[in-house]
Amino acid sequence: MNRAPWLWAILFALWLVLSWHFTPLFLFFGVVTCSIAVLVVTRMGILDRESLPLHLAWRAAAYVPWLVWEIFKSNVRVARIILSPRIRVDPSIVHFQASQRTDLGRFIYANSITLTPGTVTTGIVGDDFEVHAIVQEEIDGSEENTMNRRVARLEGEAG
Amino acid sequence: MFAVSAAAVLVCMVLAMLRAVLGPTAYDRVLALNNIGTKTVVLIAVLGFVNGRPDFLDLALAYALINFIGTIAVLKYIEYGDLGASAPRETGTE
Amino acid sequence: MMGDIVTVVVWLLLLSGGFFMVTGSLGMVRLPDVFTRMHAAGMVDTMGAGLTLAGLCVYSLHDGTGLVAVRLVLVLGFLWFTSPIATHAVAKAALSGGTTPYTVGDARLRAGQAGAGPDGAGEGRTGAAPDSTRKAPAEDERGRGDR
Amino acid sequence: MSIVVDIVLVTLLAVAGIALLRIRNLFAVVMLAGIYSLLSAGLFTVMDAVDVAFTEAAVGAGISTVLFLGALALAGHHENRPGHTPLLPLIVVSVTGLALVYGTIDMPGFGGADNPVHHHVADHYLKESPNEIDIPNVVTAVLASYRGYDTWGEVTVVFAAAVGVMLLLMGGRRSRAAAGDNGRVGGDGQAGGAGDR
């Protein structure tokens, strides 16, 4: 699948939404700007299924709301730690195996972990994730496993 | 009601400023810088609504990106001591 | 009627966003080391900014300025895409720069606690804000020496 | 509300400024300078000077932080204490500041609609720029068209400055790399690597 036209369409849609002027002059500027951007990106050779993961778009629509709900829950937990009169933390660094097959999947998983407060991905070597957690319970519960499975599903069969 | 939100953001900026001044490590200061950047973005968005002219949101949009680039440049400098250096190649790193 | 509901929803979103933002900033001041503060900073970036911008978004949608709502969504999208990368970069740089995170039973946690009061059992309890501010200048000197 | 925001932001600016003066670790100074830029950009936004705020954020918080860090990589981290007493500079700065404040007494009130500056050519720009240039943003129209030569000159100066700074910062590295010292690109570029040069 050729990704350049898709990128161009997305960029031009962004241009239209942000500018919201439909005079020929501005449309012309938009066309030129988007074309230059796409040209540069194509020449740099960074336009592939990692930089524009169109194949994930539909499954991401199911993943993102779940992620937002997870973020909300862990926010409440961290807020409780911070607001307690005496701060009780037992931070620790935990290693565990991720089950994603592609780098893109690992990237999404690592960023999902970091995006939920209470856990931060500090390093990845191969499948081995190194995660810093503010309290031990944040990490060894079943929720990380759930997230792991969900990202693996998001990544899909195509891999 | 937006004024309440703006006040909350200002309180947060004061707290983050405290962390930036106290330090103690460089990483605390980077964290505070990044955080004040985020709060500036939110502050600009909220102030647009306080004044009834939410036209400044493009500015917030640009800030969000500039802040990110600045943070990454700073951390690259801390980690490699040089802005031009490229990361040593490790296999399997993201 | 519709307007009342929207007003209530916007109030709720803005207030809870402000709550998470203030709590996260408080955490940045109170928590003992840079790694734990990172989690507090994450709160500001995710729910603090998220709920506040969502409140503005609901308001502008009801107000009939849909373009503003689109921009707010874009701002939030950028924040949520970039925030974990920046946080990860801070953590990675801090680790490779020789800062070891506090862990359970760490001597530094106990040291912080010895000054905090009689509660000396040592299961990762630290003093609150006054304690961490008091020991800050000494650590600043040490931090300079490291670099 | 706007006045409260002004007061808080200006107070934070003052705190950042004093901290900038007191701290001797130049890395922390660069961080605080970035925060200072973000705060003043927020202040400019409150004053409706969006284009200035935009420039301040891009240049102050973005580019100049990066340039400072590049300079630090070459120059080292710690600022020496000045050999002389700060008394004379303090007096000079205070006198200059007081003179500037005295100068503002004669100026018309901030943001007043009948200030002379708003009735020289501004009326014409505001009324006619949609017809004459057909650009929705008046500031853009003024900068890029009515004052096109002026902007051109400014851009040239900024470009020359940027090229000069980049040459200064990158020239050293290239000559070192040519001398065969390419080890620091690899493993040994640690956090403290800059401090000991």
Residues A78 and A23 in one domain: no
DSSP string, chain D: -HHHHHHHHHHHHHHHHHHHHH--BHHHHHHHHHHHHHHHHHHHHHTT-HHHHHHIIIIIIIIHHHHHHHHHHHH-SBPPPPSS-SHHHHHHHHHHHHHHHHHHHTSPPTT-TT-GGGGSSHHHHHHHHHHHT--S-HHHHIIIIITHHHHHHHHHHHHHHHHHHHHHHHHHHHHHHHTT--GGGTTT--GGGGTT-
User: Tokens for D19?
Assistant: 């901290």
A99 neighbors A134 (Cβ within 8 angstroms): no
Best D12, D25, D72, D188 residue to mutate vs chain C (most C CBs within 10 Å)? D25
Residue C16 lies in a domain: yes
A135 and A103 part of one domain: yes
Q: Along the 159 residues of chain A, how does pLDDT read in single tens digits?
A: 578 888 899 999 989 888 888 888 889 999 999 999 999 988 888 777 777 777 777 778 888 888 888 888 888 888 888 888 777 777 878 887 777 777 888 888 888 888 888 888 888 887 788 888 887 766 665 666 777 777 777 776 544
User: CB–CB of D134 and A21 under 8 A?
Assistant: no
Report how far residue D189's alpha carbon sits from residue C67's, in angstroms, rounded to the nearest whole number.
46
Pairing of strands A119-125, A128-133: antiparallel
Tell me the pLDDT tens digit for each residue of C122-143: 333 333 333 333 333 333 333 3
Do residue A85 and residue A20 come from a single domain? Answer: no
Euclidean distance between CA atoms C69 and C62, whole angstroms: 10
CB atoms within 10 A of CB A45: 7
Is C71 part of a structural domain of the chain?
yes
- Name all domains of chain D by residue range, CATH numbers in brackets: 1-80 (1.20.120.1200), 123-175 (no CATH)
Looking at the fold, whether A73 and A146 belong to one and the same domain comes out as: yes
Domain that holds residue C48: 2-99
Residue A70 sits in the same domain as residue A133: yes
Does D191 contact C98 at a Cβ distance shorter than 8 Å?
yes
SS (H, E, C) chain A: CCCHHHHHHHHHHHHHHHHCCCCHHHHHHHHHHHHHHHHHHHHHCCCCCCCCCHHHHHHHHHHHHHHHHHHHHHHHHHHHHHHCCCCECCCEEEEEECCCCCHHHHHHHHHHHHHCCCEEEEEEECCEEEEEECCCHHHHCHHHHHHHHHHHHHHCCCC
Same domain, A114 and A77: yes
Tell me which chain A residues have a C-beta less than 8 angstroms from the C-beta of B58.
18
Residues A35 and A62 in one domain: no
Residue of D nearest to C140 (CA): D25
- Tell me the average pLDDT of chain D: 78
Q: Measuring CA to CA, which residue among B53, B51, B55, B3 is closest to residue C14?
A: B3
Same domain, A24 and A61: no
Q: How far apart (Å, rounded) are the C-alpha atoms in residues B50 and B1? A: 8
Examine residue C18 and state whether it is found in any structural domain, yes or no.
Answer: yes
C-alpha Rg value of chain A to the nearest Å: 20
Q: Is residue C38 part of a domain?
A: yes
Residue C119 lies in a domain: no
* Residue A22 structural domain: 4-44
The CA distance from B79 to the nearest CA of chain C, in Å, is 5
Structural domain count, chain C: 1
Q: Are residues A61 and A130 in the same domain?
A: yes
Enumerate the residues of chain D whose CB falls inside 8 A of the CB of residue C147. Answer: 25, 27, 77, 191-192, 195
CB contact under 8 A, A92 and C103: yes
In a domain, A51, yes or no: no
Distance CA D79, CA D29 (A): 10
Q: Which residue of D has its CA nearest to A20?
A: D136
Arithmetic mean of pLDDT over chain C:
72
| pLDDT score of D172 | 56
Shortest alpha-carbon distance between residue C86 and chain D (Å) = 15
Q: Which of A 65-104 lie inside 8 A of B, CB atoms?
A: 103
What pTM, to 2 d.p., does this model score? 0.78
Closest CA to C40 of A158, A118, A35, A25: A118
Q: What is the largest CA-CA distance in chain D?
A: 66
Residues 6+ apart with CB under 8 A from A66: A150
Q: Which of C70, C47, C48 is CA-nearest to residue C57?
A: C70
The structure tokens 């500036």 sit at B40
A139, part of any domain: yes
Q: Tell me: the pLDDT tens digits for B63-93? A: 888 888 877 777 777 777 665 555 554 444 3
Residue C67 lies in a domain: yes
Q: What percent of chain D has pLDDT over 90?
A: 11
- Residue A107 inside a domain? The answer is yes
User: How confident is the model over D134-148, as pLDDT tens digits?
Assistant: 777 787 788 888 888
pLDDT in tens, C49-69: 999 999 988 888 887 777 888
Whether the pLDDT of residue D56 is over 50: the answer is yes
Note whether residue A88 is domain-resident.
Answer: yes
Tell whether A49 is covered by a domain: no
CB contact under 8 A, D191 and C144: no
- Residue C110: predicted pLDDT: 47
Q: What pLDDT shows up at residue A121? A: 85
- The tokens for C141 are 């000197």
* Within a domain: C74: yes
Residue B91 near chain A (CB below 8 Å): yes
Residues of B in contact with A125 (CB under 8 A): 90, 92-93
Evaluate whether residue A50 is within a structural domain. no
Query: Do residue D134 and residue A23 have CB atoms under 8 angstroms apart?
Result: yes
Rounded to a whole number of angstroms, the distance between the first and last alpha carbons of chain C is 61
Q: How many domains does chain A divide into? A: 2
